[in-house]
């Protein structure tokens, strides 16, 4: 991993700027490292959670638009293509046709389990309460984290599994960490 030395190679004088920590500062430095590592993990989890809620909502909006009387397959395909082009133009990467199709499938699979709970936390679109105006208030993020327990990437893989019982099993199996180091 870039920028991180194995602990066996760290010496008091091996700081980036040649600064030698005080002899009694080792515990202090380790405490700072732990704080930063916890913060990075929190930011990562918050980003995963935000991505899951965003794509769940995008999927919901796509399904509702398709069900507006034009739920034919060809309309849905054109809708996704046009939406993909529009979002990519306005927002950049992350909104390919395939990713929008994944968002729709994600919503269709998980709405029965997540939808009502998310409604109670963020507002119910059927009652005219918009979720888009209030995005994951800090006091509700813990509750929402209980609804989306894995990353968006993990959910994309899970949506490819046809049998619900297999999906439930693999949802509880953490993905194997990948390394690019030899």
Structure confidence by residue, pLDDT tens digits, 29-50: 889 999 999 999 888 878 888 8
Instruction: Give the per-residue pLDDT at 43.
Output: 85
CA distances from 14 to 9, 33, 110, 149 (A): 8, 15, 50, 39
pTM over 0.85: no
Give every CB contact of residue 116 below 8 A, 6+ residues apart in sequence: none
Phi and psi at 25, nearest 5°, equal: -85, -5
Whether 95 has a pLDDT exceeding 50, the answer reads yes
> Using an 8 Å Cβ cutoff, are 96 and 84 in contact?
yes
What is the mean pLDDT of the segment spanning 88-112? 92
Instruction: Give the per-residue pLDDT at 81.
Output: 93
């Amino acid at each position: 991993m870039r920028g991180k030395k194995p602990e066996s190679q760290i010496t008091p004088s091996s700081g980036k700027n040649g600064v030698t920590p005080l002899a009694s500062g080792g515990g202090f430095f380790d405490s700072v490292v732990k704080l930063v590592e916890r913060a990075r993990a929190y930011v990562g989890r918050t980003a995963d959670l935000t991505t899951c809620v965003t794509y769940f909502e995008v999927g919901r909006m796509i399904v509702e638009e398709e069900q507006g009387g034009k739920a034919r397959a060809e309309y849905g395909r054109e809708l996704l293509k046009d939406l993909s082009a529009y979002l990519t133009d306005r927002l950049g990467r992350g909104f390919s046709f395939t990713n929008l199709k994944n968002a729709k499938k994600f919503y269709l699979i998980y709405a029965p389990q997540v939808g009502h709970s998310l409604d109670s936390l963020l507002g119910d679109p059927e009652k005219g309460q918009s979720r888009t105006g209030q995005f994951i208030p800090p006091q509700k993020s813990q509750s929402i984290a209980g609804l989306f327990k894995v990353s968006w990437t993990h959910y994309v893989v899970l949506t490819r599994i046809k049998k619900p019982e297999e999906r439930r099993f693999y949802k509880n199996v953490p993905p194997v960490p990948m390394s690019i180091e030899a």
